[in-house]
Structure 1
Amino acid sequence: MNTARPALRAVFEEAGVRGHVFARDIDGPAALGLDEDTPVVLASVFKIPVALAYAREAAAGRLERTERHPVPPPLRDGGIGTSGCADPVELSLRDLVLLMLTMSDNAATDVVLHRVGLDRVNALLAGLGRDRTHLIGGCADLIGSLLADLGAADEEEAQARLAALTPAQTMALSVCVPERTTRGTARDTAELLAQIWRDEAGPAEACAEVRAVMGRQIWPHRLSSGFEDGYRIAGKTGTLPGWRNEAGVVEHPDGGRYAVAVFTRAETPRQRDPGADRAIGRAARIAVDALRATAPSTPEPSSVVNPPTVTA
């Protein structure tokens, strides 16, 4: 692993971002990190513990997966999923969780979070030893903070004001400063995923539900971009001004499982930054390959015949 950290630094330098990485073998002791204990902005990666809290409550019988909940118009921020719907919306909790994790639906997230409770999510994280991770609220709280900092009445006005900020001004916004917003670390995030994949984060039924939904994520441009067909990817992206993240589990065709969390902070924030997106996949691949190199008996991707199709 001696060459992995310099390679990671080179990937992030080329992309113009500061990177934070932690990867671990879920079924073994190998681990690799780069600035893994520095606080980071989670952005929508926080939806993983929200989903876990929901699944644990469902497994305990304290809520029903088929409960139907309206998605109030004030929660709809014009984004994707129910967030962008013009007409009344009502879905079951499990379908709201599906939209929350697979496409990062903000309105669905806030309905689920309201049902399970913010305090319960934070207590769950603390109970699992993830004491570097803390949620300050839901998506509406993060967006409200951004609007307040910008003095904007709505998201359209916020976008115009964001475009006029210098990079330093952008990264000083509350939602961009870990200590002032929903936060975590790369290590905490990857360790939480490892606990979910080992059925240590709650009842096996709950952990399996989170794994299954994360495996259906629709975005292939970050973590998945580092891995060819044959790997299975279950992940959750996160995006806020200047921050592009993804955390997930990479499963090799031979069954090896690796929890990976990559967080990037841009030197020059851009609304679209494909270089930073690609850097997440490249960094994840470097980390996974380095972990696999510690187990010489593990076959390499090229030796696998007829691998299963990738799940992005």
Structure 2
Amino acid sequence: MVEERIREIFARAGADGLLHAVPVGGTPLTEVTAGAEVAVGADEPVVIASVFKVLLVLEFARQAAAGQLDPRERVRVGAADRLGGWGTAGCADDVELSLRDLAFFAISVSDNSAADLLLARVGLDTVQLLAGELGLDRTRIVGGPRDVLDSMLAEVGARDEAEFALRYPALPDDRKRRLSVLDPLRTNAGTPREITRLLRLIWRDEAGPPEACLQVRELMTRQVFRHRLVSGFPDEVTVAAKTGTLPGLHLEAGVVRYPDGGCYAISVFARTRKLAASRTAVDAALGAAARIAVDSLRGKGL
């Protein structure tokens, strides 16, 4: 019944949704049963887009905790690094900042340039190995934001972002849907269940040294975007999360904590049925679906 209500929420917004929600505390990760979770297509492969930055920043924090890198190390973000968008990715001039500030921008405003530079420093291979170490067997990381952009430019036949902005709108929807960045078999991907596993491990200090897990948790509480998961919960509930967005894809993963100590990991993914669907309606559906799932776990609203 809960799963049906969640599907209806997305259908009214013109989208198809997948979700997994589970308590953070209590039973060991290997003992979560159907009675302690809400799952709607939780094992289906999904594009994770910028949610991959949680795994990236976790690897950075683990390396910093192990003394393998200095989080104060300075990095210059130049014109060749900028991808457009939030944070340093949209700056007009060169910027210099520390590795830990790259991590901050990558999570708080989903800064793509910051994520690329951080990935270059910690190593794509180590992020891939980390996914395996944490038991995320169906999670695949093939590259960073620059790789995503380059694949989109190549498939559309555009030389740069300006030409892409001209060519992309003229493509038929079925051609847009075939872009590799929207295919979980060809880009950064996982499953809703594996994303909540990652979050539970971080919140339980089981994804690395406690100081590394704490850093990731604190950064996720500083995300500035408040239009998805946050929209579904009252003000007294704290939300630590990371969004992801691509054409026709709206997603977010996070942990909500109630004043009574109840803590729940949620990953929710929506694919719009039409690329021109209302973004506001779909974003609100993510929050509403998450609230229904958590209410069910808390024994309310049934």
Residue 43 of structure 1 is matched in structure 2 by 49
TM-score normalised over the length of structure 1: 0.91
* Partner in structure 1 of residue 192 of structure 2: 186
Alignment-mate amino acid for residue 241 of structure 1? P
Partner of 2:177: 171
Q: Of the candidates 26, 39, 58, which is equivalent to residue 24 of structure 2?
A: 26
> Would the aligned equivalents of 1:55 and 1:209 in 2 still touch at CA under 8 Å?
yes
In 2: Cα distance, 1:79 partner to 1:204 partner: 32
Where does residue 148 of structure 1 map in the other structure? 154
Query: Deviations for 1:267-308, whole angstroms, at most 9, x for unmatched residues?
Result: 1113861111111101110111111118xxxxx9xxxxxxxx
Tell me by how many angstroms 1:113 deviates: 0.6
Q: For residue 65 of structure 2, what is the aligned residue in structure 1?
A: 59
Name which of 257, 260, 263 aligns with 1:257.
263
- Residue number in structure 2 paired with 1:136: 142
* Cα distance in 2, alignment partners of residues 276 and 284 from structure 1: 13
One-letter amino acid matched to 2:61: A
1:216 correspondence with 2:231: no
* Partner AA of 1:129 in structure 2: G
* Aligned-CA RMSD value: 1.3
Matching residue within 106, 115, 126 for 1:109 = 115
Q: TM-score, normalised by structure 2?
A: 0.94
Q: Which position in structure 1 is the counterpart of 2:281?
A: 275
Tell me the equivalent position of 2:15. Answer: 17
Query: Is the Cα contact below 8 Å between 1:170 and 1:242 reproduced in 2?
Result: no
CA distance in 2, matches of 1:266, 1:68: 40
**Aligned ranges 1:78-89 → 2 under 5 Å:** 78-89=84-95
AA aligned opposite 1:234 = A
Deviation at 1:265, TM superposition (A): 1.0
Aligned partners of 2:74 and 2:98 also within 8 Å: yes
Distance in 2 (CA, whole Å) between partners of 1:93 and 1:101 is 13
Is 1:69 aligned with 2:84?
Answer: no
Q: Indicate whether 1:235 and 2:236 are aligned.
A: no
Do the aligned partners of 1:56 and 1:203 also contact (CA within 8 Å) in 2?
yes
| Matched position secondary structure for 1:179 | coil
- Once residues 278 and 143 of structure 2 are traced to their aligned partners in structure 1, the CA distance between those partners, rounded to angstroms, is 26
Take 2:22 and 2:133, find their aligned partners in 1: how far apart are those partners?
A: 21
Moved over 6 A (4+): none
Matched, 1:90 2:88: no
**Identity value in percent:** 49
Paired residue type of 2:264: Y
Q: Check conservation: 1:66, 1:94, Cα contact below 8 A.
A: yes
Match of 2:124 among 118, 122, 131: 118
Where does structure 1 lack aligned partners over 5 or more consecutive residues? 295-299, 301-312
Structure 2 CA distance, aligned partners of 1:43 and 1:281?
Answer: 18
Tell me, yes or no, if the aligned pair for 1:67 and 1:93 is still in contact at 8 Å: yes
- 1:167–1:267 contact (8 Å) kept in structure 2: no
The structure-2 alpha-carbon separation of the partners of 1:93 and 1:271, relative to structure 1 and needing over 3 Å to count, comes to farther
Partner of 2:113, secondary structure, is helix
Which amino acid in structure 1 is aligned with residue 24 of structure 2?
Answer: I
Give 2:29's aligned residue: none
Separation in structure 1 between the aligned mates of residue 165 and residue 40 of structure 2, nearest angstrom:
32
Report deviation, 1:159: 2.6
Q: 1:271 to 1:75 in 2, by over 3 A?
A: farther
Aligned position for 1:161: 167
